[in-house]
Amino acid sequence: MSQPVDKQAIPVSPEINVYNDPRESFDAQVRFAQKWSEITGDDFAATLYSKTPLYTRISEPTPRTEDVPEDWRTLIAGLDKDSDPKEVTDYLYELYKKNPESKYTPPTHDSAIGFDYLPTKQAVKIHFTNPSRGERPLSDENMPQRQAEFRTMLEHIKALYPEAALVISGTWLRSTSHYRNLSPPDVAPERNLMSPDMKMTGNSVWGQFTNASGNINKRVYDQFIAAIEKATTVEELLDAFPYKTMLSEDSIDKYYDFYGINGESATASSPERSSETRVRDVQTGDLASLKPILEQWIKRFGSDEPLTEEISNVLAAVKASLEGENGRKYVVAEDDQGNVIGIMGMTTPSNDMQPYITSDNAVEFINAYVDKEARGTGAGKLLAKQLEEMAIQDGHTEIIVNSGPRYKDTGWAFWTKMYGEPVAMQKDLYGPGADAPVWRKSLPT
């Protein structure tokens, strides 16, 4: 365990939101409710009440009722599915800011993991809260701490509720591999809870919009807004959430075994990732750092001469992706000093890759480059894993990737390590005699 910290003494940096929720998450909820009303014909005030946490955020903490409370109808009077969403959000966010409960106060406990005991089901229900705003609670560096907390919690449960038989966890976080890493790998298959009659009034659905600093998770927001704009059915609306709320319900003994609480040695371990490297979405400011990395690798085959035009094209494609112009997505790896050390992207598969695609929503990985100095430290793998996760969230069904002769001594072994033996050798892909192996990987749907 880390040293006890006096959380109240930590100054809140300007980047940290002073409210619990960012304004944009209200905007996402308003737009969602408007679209829901439009599609279903349901009353707007009722939809906002039952499909978002807004009522709870704005009112005194009162238990939710089946019927829409009159005070809510009065507040919402005059606003409907056709109102300007910005006006509705501004109005509701101002009310929210007046609620003293809306101000963020750091938790007084150090542990991210807590539970409720449900005696009738002999089950423990797991909760997760970020104990330290401004820090990523599920980063590689923090995972050993989270695992220690999970173990301590299980020890308490075993002592206090020896009859406990089940562990229940239902949250959008279960759509992320880091969070799932806290559960045993053989935990029962998860159930997708996103259905038209689901309860959508809490963080188990909407928490994905808030990042570790309490600000908007821009990637989630942008993807969500684009998808709800296109939605024409309730199913498509529910599918707009980048992270689905998943339920896992399994025997507590599996957890005791995994954390070594039944007397056996623990099998939980840190995810196999380099602790110093982290991967994030590319930003405009990264372009300058990426150029020298590309210059190390994008060279005429058999010579030391950088191919300036190809390098400029890659940088232009990265820039266009940031402006949403080419549908590509890029992630970069950075070291513990914040230096960019690698990049990888994904895009719609090229025509050349069509013969190797076996499902209807493939994505192609492209532009994989890691700084020479940082090669072999796990950055390439982290980049690929992050893109895989994003591809799954985007509904892709498989990954396809090829690598030209230029990368025979570097990329080929890497992709084989990642995705097994190539499925094919594409003849002359990069010119006469320049064949390229092709790898593929199916993604879970």
Ligand X SMILES: CC(C)(COP(=O)(O)OP(=O)(O)OC[C@H]1O[C@@H](n2cnc3c(N)ncnc32)[C@H](O)[C@@H]1OP(=O)(O)O)[C@@H](O)C(=O)NCCC(=O)NCCS
Token digits of residue 90? 């501004």
Closest CA to 79 of 113, 26, 6, 30: 30
The nearest distance, CB 279 to ligand X, in angstroms, is: 11
Measured distance CA(174)–CA(172) in Å, rounded: 5
Which segment (201-209, 258-266, 388-396, 405-413) binds ligand X by CB under 6 A?
Answer: 405-413
Nearer to ligand X, 44 or 414 (CB): 414
Helix, strand and coil percent figures for the chain, each rounded to 5: 40, 15, 40
Q: Does 403 bind ligand X (CB under 6 A)?
A: yes
Q: Does 370 bind ligand X (CB under 6 A)?
A: yes
Nearer to ligand X, 218 or 372 (CB): 372
Measured distance CA(117)–CA(294) in Å, rounded: 54
The nearest distance, CB 295 to ligand X, in angstroms, is: 12
Q: Which amino acid is at 337?
A: Q
The nearest distance, CB 36 to ligand X, in angstroms, is: 43
Nearer to ligand X, 129 or 312 (CB): 312
The nearest distance, CB 310 to ligand X, in angstroms, is: 12
Nearer to ligand X, 145 or 403 (CB): 403
- Rounded to a whole number of angstroms, the CA Rg of the chain reads 24
Taking CB under 6 A as the criterion, which residues in 327-356 touch ligand X?
none
Q: How many chain residues interact with ligand X (CB under 6 A)? A: 18
Closest CA to 2 of 127, 105, 111: 111
| Category of 302 on φ-ψ map: left (φ > 0), alpha (ψ -120 to 50) or beta | left
The correct pick among 377, 386, 393, 426 for binding ligand X (CB under 6 A) is 377
Q: Does 378 bind ligand X (CB under 6 A)?
A: yes
Closest residue to ligand X, judged by C-beta, is: 380
The correct pick among 292, 376, 395, 420 for binding ligand X (CB under 6 A) is 376
Helix axes 411-419, 379-393, angle to 10 degrees: 50
Instruction: From residue 340, give the alpha-carbon distance in Å to each of 140, 263, 332, 367, 372.
Output: 18, 44, 7, 15, 12
The nearest distance, CB 384 to ligand X, in angstroms, is: 8
The nearest distance, CB 375 to ligand X, in angstroms, is: 4
Instruction: From residue 283, give the alpha-carbon distance in Å to each of 76, 204, 280, 319.
Output: 39, 29, 9, 8
Nearer to ligand X, 62 or 348 (CB): 348
Nearer to ligand X, 205 or 307 (CB): 307
Alpha helices in 203-267 (DSSP H): 203-206, 218-230, 234-239, 252-258
Q: Does 57 bind ligand X (CB under 6 A)?
A: no
Query: DSSP state, 15?
Result: T
Q: Does 300 bind ligand X (CB under 6 A)?
A: no
The nearest distance, CB 141 to ligand X, in angstroms, is: 18
The correct pick among 255, 258, 369, 439 for binding ligand X (CB under 6 A) is 369
Which segment (10-18, 41-49, 66-74, 404-412) binds ligand X by CB under 6 A?
Answer: 404-412
Which segment (65-73, 202-210, 234-242, 363-371) binds ligand X by CB under 6 A?
Answer: 363-371
Of how many residues is the chain composed?
445
Which segment (201-209, 261-269, 311-319, 370-378) binds ligand X by CB under 6 A?
Answer: 370-378
| Beta strands 278-281; 340-347: pairing state | unpaired
Q: Does 248 bind ligand X (CB under 6 A)?
A: no
If one counts every other C-beta atom within 10 angstroms of the C-beta of residue 60, the result is 9
The nearest distance, CB 288 to ligand X, in angstroms, is: 18
Q: List all residues 6 or more positions away from 43 whose beta carbon is below 8 Å from its beta carbon.
A: 37, 68
Instruction: Report the interface residues with ligand X, using CB under 6 A.
Output: 297, 368-370, 375-381, 403, 407, 410-411, 413-414, 417
